[in-house]
Amino acid sequence: MSSITTEPITTKRQQNEFVEFPWKLYRDDPNWVPPLRQNLKELVNFAPHPFYTRNNVQCFLARRDGEVVGRIAAILNVGHNERYEERRGFWGFFESVNDTEVSGALFDAVKGWFAEQGIHKMRGPANPSLNHEVGTLIEGFDSPPAFMMTYNPPYYEKLITDYGYEKTQDMYAFWGHIDMLEGLDPKLKFIVDEAKSRFNLKLRRMDRKRFKEDVYTFLDNYNRSLVGTWGFVPIDTSEVDKMADDLKHLLVPELTSVCEVDGKVIGSMFGMLDYNPRIKKIDGKLFPFGFMRLLWNKKAIKNMRLISTNVVPEYQRWGIGLVILERLVPDIKKWGVQEVEFSWVLESNHLSRASLERGGAKKSKTYRMFDYAPAETAADNAT
């Protein structure tokens, strides 16, 4: 029987093998959408990314008879450990053939790398943090993922749990059709009207003339709104700069909504067109012409993902999120959007889940985060 070997990535050739492995793994899967190659290289630190100014990563390959059969990244998220006062390692960018010997060898490599640093508790997948793509798909394999959401074969859950990982949190994607808005629950409409009458709300879309300033506004509101959310670590200034640059060509002002009270932003929402069908057509290659094909005639894209609805804590119980969405609806209809994915929503976010379900949205996909701890530390594993 052939043995499995793992190796830390130290060369350019190994980096290329790490990046290209999914094309081999998913070649017969019609629902897989390739990553943007340049973006992937940055997120695993093969190319510069501000996340790694203070954090660290080590990528590994698994081989059988010299052939790559799996990959993984061990990620040291310093911000998480400082915020939650613990020593925990993360892993992400996991891909493997359906073989527990391969997946076990990869998880062993991650565990060994962290053990050298005195870290024994682990969580994943995070690619590379909760501010990026996260979770293993465990339900909803019948359709492709929305833009910036993960995808994997159904057998991944078993590979992970067979090693000893246990569920720590689920995230959901909800699906909605524009027609559902016509039959909106009257109770939700009452909540919207009450919020409008109680507060001096000003609602607007993102301003093209001050685009970068408004992107910063969105991200600042994101940081202020999620302080009590499970696993949240604020995006630091250097990452905000990077995200603002990355989003400036992709964001559509008509699919954004900002809520202000007395000139201060208290809530925001932004949607992204579902670029995934186009990313699939360009095979994840932005150069030399993929970038133009990705962004050409955005108006033709009729599906979108509502990525983030964020309201600062002191206003979160007043239905402001519904008010923000209401402002967005006419622009969504005018654009011609037919289907919307709301993702992701934490299992523990009961308020958002209840609002979506009452509005008629249907849970379409489930993503899971897993924790691992040796027996001696299992008792204090939860954070």
HSE of 244 in the Cβ direction (CA atoms, 13 Å)?
18
CA-based nearest residue to 141, from 166, 164, 173, 97: 173
Q: Per residue of the chain (383 residues), what is the pLDDT tens digit?
A: 579 999 999 999 999 999 999 999 999 999 999 999 999 999 999 999 999 999 999 999 999 999 999 999 999 999 999 999 999 999 999 999 999 999 999 999 999 999 999 999 999 999 999 999 999 999 999 999 999 999 999 999 999 999 999 999 999 999 998 877 666 566 677 878 888 888 989 999 988 788 878 888 888 889 999 988 999 999 988 898 888 888 888 989 999 999 999 889 999 998 999 999 999 999 999 988 899 999 999 999 999 999 888 999 999 888 898 899 888 888 999 999 989 999 999 999 888 888 888 878 899 999 999 999 887 554 454 44
CA distances in angstroms from 252 to 37, 89, 311, 335, 360, listed in the order given? 23, 36, 20, 10, 25
Question: How much is the pLDDT for 383?
Answer: 47
Question: How much is the pLDDT for 130?
Answer: 95
Distance CA 325, CA 261 (A): 16
Question: How much is the pLDDT for 217?
Answer: 84
Question: How much is the pLDDT for 218?
Answer: 83
Question: How much is the pLDDT for 376?
Answer: 57
Q: What percent of the chain has pLDDT over 70?
A: 96
- Do 205 and 258 contact (CB within 8 A), yes or no? yes
Distance CA 270, CA 331 (A): 12
CA distances in angstroms from 380 to 136, 149, 335, listed in the order given? 23, 30, 49
Residue 1 CB-density burial (10 A; 0-12 exposed, 13-18 middle, 19+ buried): exposed
Residue 30: is the preceding peptide bond cis (ω within 30°)? no
Residue 208 CB-density burial (10 A; 0-12 exposed, 13-18 middle, 19+ buried): exposed
Question: How much is the pLDDT for 377?
Answer: 57
**Exposure b/e, 113-125, CB count within 10 A at least 16 = b:** bbeeeebbbbbbb
Distance CA 192, CA 110 (A): 48
Write out the two tokens for 70: 């799996």
- Alpha-helical (H) ranges within the chain are 12-25, 37-43, 78-84, 100-115, 156-163, 186-198, 211-225, 237-247, 276-281, 290-295, 320-335, 350-358
Distance CA 252, CA 247 (A): 9
DSSP 348: T
Q: Tokens 């011609």 map to which residue?
A: 336
